[in-house]
C-alpha cells in the first residue's frame, strides 16, 4: 500500500474511534457550549470509569506490590522549587508566530508535519530529497533555534491557516504562572510534573522508611503545561494526569532483588545503536539486555519489565509496544540511561511512559538551593580509615582579589574534584599561581598560593554519607488510555449484515462497566429477578447497567458492546439466566443465585472466560 493511502486509512480509523468516544461520552472538549479551549478535555462517565480502573491497577501493580510510599502534593508550586529544578530557565519549546495575525505555532511541529506530508503524499519525491526529509525527522529534537529557523525558511514553510510568513523561532516557557497570596510578591507556577513534590520531601520519607535504602515514593496527580498549539486530542493537552515513581537507590549498588522475576521477559526494544544504524526495533530478552550493558543497571531493567507487564495487562497490544532508548543528544547531561515505552497508534509511535536513571541530579539541586542536605547514610560495622580531600579557600584574600565575585570563586574551588584539586596544588607549589576556570563567571581567573589550601588527610569514618540516585518511571495516563482506546476498537457486521457495528474489546480489568443486566422481554417477574441480580452485583462491588426497556435484545447488546462492556446477563427464565461474552458472542447458562459470583470470578481475573465456558452449559441464541 502506498504511503498516501496508509495515511488516509489511519485518518479514517482515527475519525471512527474519536466519533465513537465523543458520541458515547468517553470524553468531550471542555467548555463545549463556549466553543471549547484547545488542549482541554472533560472525561464523561465511561471515560472516568476507565481512568479510575487504570489508576486502581497502577496502584495495585506498583504501589502495593512494590511497597511504595504514596504522597499527594499541591499543584501550585513556589517559584524557588522550580528554579532549583531548572524548569524556570529551561522548560521551553521553540515557537514561531504568524507575522500578520500573531497566531502561535510550535516550530518543530511545523517542520515535522512538512517532512511527513512530503514523504507520505508526494509520489514523485526524488530519493535524495526523501533521504534528506528522513534525516531531518531523525535529528529534529537536536536542532537549535537557528537551525530550525533555517530549515523553515529553506522549505518555504508558512502559517498553516493563513499561509502568511512566520517569525524566527524563539523559546516559550510552558509553565502556567500564578502568584501565591493576594500581595503578588510570592510567584508560583502550576506544576509541570509531580516529581518535585517527592524530591523536596525526601528527608522525611527517608526517615519514615527507617533511614533505609532503597525505597520508592509514588504520586498520582494533575500536571499542567501551556502547550503552544495543542493537537492530537488526548495525546497533547494542557492539563493531564501523571503517575510518577521516584525509586531512590545507592549509586554504588543499582542491583534489584526482584530482577529475576522479570529477567526472562522478551519484548520489542530499540537500543540507540539500532536507531543510529537505521535498523528496526527487535525482540530482546531484558535479562540479556542488562547483562550486556544495553540497559544500564538491574533496577532500570526491572522497572522496564514491570512497565511492560502493566501495559500489556491493561490491553495494549504487545506487537505495537516498544521500549526506545534515548539517543545521546536527547539525554540530559546528568542522566545515566533513559528509555521510553512507546505505543503505536494512528498518530505514529507515541511516548507514554518515560523510565530514566536521573542519577543524583534532583536531590543535589534541591540541597544546593535550600541548604537542607538531602542525603542518605550507610553505617559501617567497623570504623574505616579514608583519605579525604580538604579544600579551604582563604575568603579574606579572595574577597580582596575578586570583590563581588568572591562567593562564586569560593564555591567553584570547593566543588573541585580530586584530580583537578591535586593538579592545582602541584602548580601552586611549583609556580606560586594557577589559572582556574570559574563556570558561573564564564571566565578563567588566576589563583595565588595564599588564596587556597589543598591537602589530604587520613580520617576515621563511622558512616558513609551520599546523595542517592533516582530511577524514575513517569506515566502519562491520558496517553496510555487513548492508545488503549485505539488498540481495543473493532468493527463487525450486524446480525443482518447491513451495517458495521463498533465495539471496544477492553479487558474486564479496565472496562468502564463490567456487565449489563437485561430482562429478555418486558415482564414483571423477569424485571424483579434482574433487580435481585443487580443487588448481588452491588454487594460484590461490580459495576453494572440495568436495561429494562423493550428494545430488541440485539440492539441492547450492540449499545453496550460499543461501551466495551465485557459481559451481558439476560434474564429469560425464573431459575437461570444467560451470560454473553462480548468478543466471541458465546453464551453460557447459569443459575440465578450463581450469576453474580461467576461475573466476580471473571472480572477479577480468578477465572478466564474459557474456564467458565468449560464449567457451565453453553446456550445458543
Instruction: For 422-474, write each residue's pLDDT tens digit.
Output: 999 999 999 999 999 887 777 889 999 999 999 988 888 888 899 999 999 99
Burial class (CB in 10 A: 0-12, 13-18, 19+), 526: buried
Give the confidence band of 417 by pLDDT, cuts at 50, 70, 90. Answer: confident
Taking alpha carbons only, the member of 222, 244, 247, 218 closest to residue 70 is: 218
Mean of pLDDT values over 363-369:
92
Cis-peptide, bond into residue 214, ω within 30° of zero: yes
- pLDDT of 149-178, one tens digit each? 999 999 999 999 899 999 999 999 999 999
pLDDT of residue 1: 66
Mean pLDDT value across residues 255-261 = 97
Query: Which grid cell is 421?
Result: 584539586
Q: What is the pLDDT of residues 82-97, one digit of tens each?
A: 999 989 988 889 999 9
pLDDT at 408: 85
CA 567 vs. chain centroid, Å, equals 31
Q: Is 17 helix (H, G, I), strand (E, B) or coil?
A: helix
Could you report the per-residue pLDDT of 236-254, keeping only the tens digit for each? 999 999 999 999 999 999 9
Which pLDDT score, from 0 to 100, does residue 415 have? 82
Give yes or no for residue 333 having a pLDDT over 80: no
Return the pLDDT at 177: 93
Going along 210-329, which residue ranges are E strands? 215-224, 239-249, 266-270, 282-285, 321-325
Q: What is the chain's mean pLDDT, rounded?
A: 92
Q: pLDDT band for position 304 (50/70/90)?
A: very high
Amino acid at each position: 500500500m502506498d504511503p498516501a493511502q496508509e495515511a488516509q486509512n489511519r485518518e479514517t480509523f482515527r475519525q471512527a474511534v474519536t466519533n465513537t468516544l465523543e458520541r458515547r461520552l468517553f470524553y468531550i472538549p471542555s467548555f463545549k457550549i463556549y466553543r471549547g479551549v484547545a488542549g482541554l478535555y472533560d472525561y464523561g462517565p465511561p471515560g472516568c470509569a476507565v481512568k479510575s480502573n487504570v489508576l486502581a491497577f497502577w496502584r495495585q501493580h506498583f504501589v502495593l506490590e512494590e511497597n511504595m510510599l504514596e504522597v499527594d502534593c499541591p499543584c501550585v508550586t513556589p517559584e524557588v522549587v522550580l528554579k532549583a529544578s531548572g524548569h524556570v530557565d529551561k522548560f521551553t519549546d521553540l515557537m514561531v508566530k504568524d507575522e500578520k495575525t500573531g497566531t502561535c505555532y510550535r516550530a518543530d511541529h511545523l517542520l515535522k508535519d512538512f517532512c511527513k506530508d512530503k514523504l507520505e503524499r508526494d509520489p514523485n519525491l526524488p530519493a535524495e530529497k526523501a533521504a534528506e526529509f528522513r534525516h531531518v525527522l531523525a535529528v529534529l529534537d537536536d536542532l537549535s533555534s537557528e537551525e530550525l529557523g533555517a530549515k523553515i525558511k529553506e522549505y518555504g514553510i508558512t502559517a498553516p491557516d493563513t499561509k502568511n510568513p512566520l517569525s524566527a523561532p524563539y523559546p516559550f516557557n510552558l509553565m502556567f504562572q500564578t502568584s501565591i497570596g493576594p500581595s503578588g510578591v510570592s510567584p508560583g507556577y502550576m506544576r509541570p510534573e509531580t516529581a518535585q513534590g517527592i524530591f523536596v520531601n525526601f528527608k522525611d520519607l527517608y526517615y519514615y522508611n527507617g533511614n533505609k535504602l532503597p525505597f520508592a515514593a509514588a504520586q498520582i496527580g494533575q500536571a499542567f503545561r501551556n502547550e503552544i498549539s495543542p493537537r492530537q486530542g488526548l495525546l497533547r493537552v494542557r492539563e493531564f494526569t501523571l503517575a510518577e515513581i521516584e525509586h531512590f537507590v545507592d549509586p554504588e549498588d543499582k542491583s534489584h532483588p526482584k530482577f529475576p522475576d522479570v529477567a526472562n521477559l522478551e519484548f520489542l526494544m530499540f537500543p540507540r545503536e539500532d536507531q543510529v544504524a537505521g535498523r528496526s526495533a527487535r525482540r530482546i530478552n531484558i535479562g540479556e539486555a542488562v547483562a550486556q550493558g544495553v540497559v544500564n543497571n538491574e533496577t532500570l531493567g526491572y522497572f522496564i519489565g514491570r512497565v511492560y507487564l502493566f501495559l500489556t495487562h491493561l490491553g495494549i497490544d504487545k506487537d505495537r509496544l516498544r521500549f526506545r532508548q534515548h539517543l545521546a543528544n536527547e539525554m540530559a547531561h546528568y542522566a545515566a540511561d533513559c528509555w521510553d515505552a512507546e505505543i503505536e497508534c494512528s498518530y505514529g509511535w507515541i511516548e507514554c511512559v518515560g523510565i530514566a536513571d536521573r542519577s543524583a541530579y534532583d536531590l543535589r539541586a534541591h540541597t544546593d538551593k535550600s541548604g537542607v542536605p538531602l542525603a542518605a547514610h550507610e553505617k559501617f560495622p567497623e570504623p574505616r580509615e579514608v583519605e579525604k580531600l580538604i579544600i579551604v579557600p582563604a575568603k579574606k584574600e579572595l574577597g580582596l582579589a575578586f570583590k563581588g565575585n568572591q562567593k562564586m570563586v569560593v564555591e567553584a574551588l570547593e566543588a573541585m574534584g580530586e584530580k583537578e584539586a591535586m593538579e592545582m596544588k602541584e602548580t601552586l607549589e611549583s609556580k606560586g599561581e594557577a589559572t582556574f576556570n570559574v563556570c558561573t563567571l564564564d571566565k578563567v581567573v588566576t589563583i595565588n598560593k595564599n588564596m587556597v589550601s589543598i591537602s589530604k588527610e587520613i580520617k576515621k569514618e563511622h558512616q558513609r554519607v551520599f546523595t542517592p540516585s533516582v530511577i524514575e518511571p513517569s506515566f502519562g495516563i491520558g496517553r496510555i488510555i487513548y492508545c488503549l482506546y485505539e488498540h481495543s476498537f473493532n468493527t463487525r457486521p450486524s446480525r443482518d449484515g447491513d451495517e458495521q457495528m463498533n465495539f471496544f474489546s477492553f479487558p474486564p480489568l479496565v472496562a468502564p462497566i463490567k456487565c449489563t443486566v437485561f430482562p429478555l422481554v418486558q415482564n414483571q417477574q423477569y424485571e424483579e429477578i434482574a433487580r435481585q441480580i443487580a443487588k448481588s452485583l452491588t454487594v460484590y462491588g461490580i459495576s453494572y447497567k440495568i436495561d429494562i426497556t423493550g428494545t430488541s435484545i440485539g440492539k441492547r447488546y450492540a449499545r453496550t458492546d460499543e461501551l466495551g462492556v465485557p459481559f451481558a446477563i439476560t434474564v429469560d427464565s425464573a431459575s437461570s439466566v444467560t451470560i454473553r461474552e462480548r468478543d466471541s458472542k458465546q453464551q453460557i447458562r447459569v443459575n440465578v443465585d450463581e450469576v453474580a459470583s461467576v461475573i466476580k470470578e471473571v472480572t477479577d481475573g480468578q477465572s478466564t472466560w474459557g474456564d467458565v465456558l468449560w464449567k457451565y452449559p453453553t446456550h445458543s441464541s
